[in-house]
Structure 1
């Protein structure tokens, strides 16, 4: 005869032996639709538990290593990425990549690998892991080209963060090749004269400016201007190219052209740091000022007037006058720009000083020809100073350095000659204390 306790044990055993109800496609699809609704509405905190639930349901239905998990894992990782949780996003993307790789597919032609690989690269970039980002994104780029063709437009989403990673890593030759490739993708997809080509041209030209290749950048801006004028979508497309043309003339005048080389002799010798030759021996090319005047005309023809664009153009014009030595005219133009920006809703551009002219010492890592050699070592000087209301510098003081006193003097001299656009408060220029400049220098290693 069974005791009551034995009946309880038997009942428990029966309960345990009954399998859980299997997850169904309909259940997963319902959770997915809820997830998409929250995610597409940018309610990422609401989307997160749904994405986690979708991963759990898929695991229950297919197992922890099935390829069906890759897309739910990517959804979860993307949600975590949008929430700024890069660590968990990285883990989820990596798990998706591993599932695909372990499934025995062709890694060079498996479309399921593309999304987690792309997401992993973007996550690495967002978390400052630029080398890892470049590796993952290059792999995703190669996969995209294998799957959809060398010039497929879909690869642009991968190409943009790859370029940003290469630029940050200072891998300039690789970055330039990818900038050029982005232009070719747009040309192949839309035609060489289509307005879609303007965005990659704009990005490439801005990078060339940053690299000091002003003539090459200006040629791209001129091409962009021709495309904008023919696009037939309104005159405002010409604003950015006109700004670029003017800016490259100004920067070339201030910093020297890309074909200029350092004077022969020892670049570490003292007294080798004259102001930019253009600022003393030649005038600014008037074509730059004309370009800005054309931009103003294009803005004023469009109604209602775009005050932010008008303000940004006046800032470029103010920069032009300041670089020409016409300080009073430049400051007044900035005042006019501030009024336009205020009407447009944001004066942030004029809320801090902006560097207009700075000629780094010849020992700067940006100028020295010895940076690729093995017999050099790097030092730094950080300077704090005041930018006055007329754009000059004052009260220069080294705040951190491991450089020699002579190197510090060179940096201080360069900062003294620098020119800035002043900060504005309530429409008027004001002094700004505590402005910082960090200069990296290279020197010969001691024998």
Structure 2
């Protein structure tokens, strides 16, 4: 009984320290606590316990923030394997972790693999949440981004449009994401030499940035530069 209490106290301390440092953006300081918490849970509770899986996901997130995408990838793979074994191949939680895994592989420039992972996540989300759910649309946008990185502009175009038309109206409180959707759409048109459409979307993105972020915001200045280049390309 005493050992159980000590384990509980230790885990509570490790969790609180990891969470405190994450909240402060001190991910390097948070990671040792998260690692120790995971090791303790694996030993005390077992690999497939829900609390162990949550701890594993937390450590993966911390590793991602530190740019350690290989460790994040390994952890997310482990999480997905456990979840699939416990609850079957389709759940919202699995879709979320497939998304996270895709972010890790994208940052390692494994674009073909990321594309496959986003397709898997999207299939689950469309079935369980519906095509118009915000999380489904976020995944749609992420998939479009990977396709753009692979220069598959014709494939990315309808996904960008869908994300903008369905997700855009939900993003009034997130102007940076909303503006980025317009800029991405503009870039896709620009790469396909559809310059009139491209300029229109750049201008809309720039207007959002100016109105909601201000003239001096880095994103506003970046979009202004891209818009200027689009105008020059059409001359």
TM-score grouping bracket, smaller chain normalisation = 0.7 to 0.9
Cα distance, 1:118–1:196 mapped onto 2, change above 3 Å: closer
Tell me whether 1:39 sits opposite 2:28 in the alignment. no
Give the whole-Å Cα distance in 1 for the aligned partners of 2:73 and 2:60: 7
Report the number of matched residues.
229
Listed as ranges, the matches of 1:413-428 within 5 Å are: none
Contact 2:180–2:205 under 8 Å retained in 1:
no
Q: Deviations over 1:129-156 (max 9, x none)?
A: 1111111122223334444442333456
> Is residue 2:83 matched to residue 1:83?
no
Counterpart in the other structure of 2:165: 184
Q: Distance in 2 between matches of 1:107 and 1:92?
A: 17
State the match for 1:60 in structure 2. Answer: 43
In structure 2, C-alpha distance between the alignment counterparts of 1:224 and 1:86, rounded to whole Å: 31
Is residue 125 of structure 1 aligned with residue 113 of structure 2? Answer: no
Q: Cα deviations across residues 209-232 of structure 1 (Å, max 9, x unaligned)? A: 23322122123245557x649x96
Secondary structure at 2:76 match in 1: helix
Structure 2 counterpart SS, 1:21: helix
Give the structure with higher Rg (CA): 1
Superposition deviation, residue 89 in structure 1: 1.9
2:192 equivalent in structure 1: 211
Deviation at 1:20, TM superposition (A): 8.5
Counterparts in 2 of 1:29 and 1:117: CA distance versus 1, 3 Å: farther
Q: Would the aligned equivalents of 1:67 and 1:99 in 2 still touch at CA under 8 Å?
A: no
Residues 203 and 48 (structure 1), Cα distance of their counterparts in 2 relative to 1, 3 Å cut:
same
* Inter-CA distance 29–148: structure 2 relative to 1 (3 Å threshold): farther
Structure 1, unaligned runs of 5 or more:
1-18, 254-447
* Alpha-carbon offset, residue 32 of structure 1: 1.4
Compared with structure 1, are the counterparts of its residues 49 and 207 closer, same or farther at alpha carbon in structure 2 (3 Å cutoff)? same
1:37 deviates by 1.1
Quote the residue 2:133 is aligned against. 152
Q: Is 1:137 the equivalent of 2:124?
A: no
**2:164–2:182 contact (8 Å) kept in structure 1:** yes
The one-character-per-residue Cα deviations of 1:384-430 (angstroms, maximum 9, x if unpaired) are: xxxxxxxxxxxxxxxxxxxxxxxxxxxxxxxxxxxxxxxxxxxxxxx
Question: Equivalents in 1 of 2:115, 2:132: separation in Å?
Answer: 20
Distance 2:222 2:64 in 1: 32
Give, in whole Å, the separation in 1 of the partners of 2:214 and 2:61.
38
Cα deviation, 1:182-240, whole Å, max 9, x if unaligned, reads 2023334258xx99743311221023223322122123245557x649x9658749977
Gap regions ≥5 residues in structure 2: none
TM-score where L is the length of structure 1: 0.44
CA–CA distance in 2 between the matches of 1:61 and 1:28? 10
Report the counterpart of residue 76 of structure 2 in structure 1.
Answer: 93
Give the TM-score of the pair, scaled to structure 2: 0.78
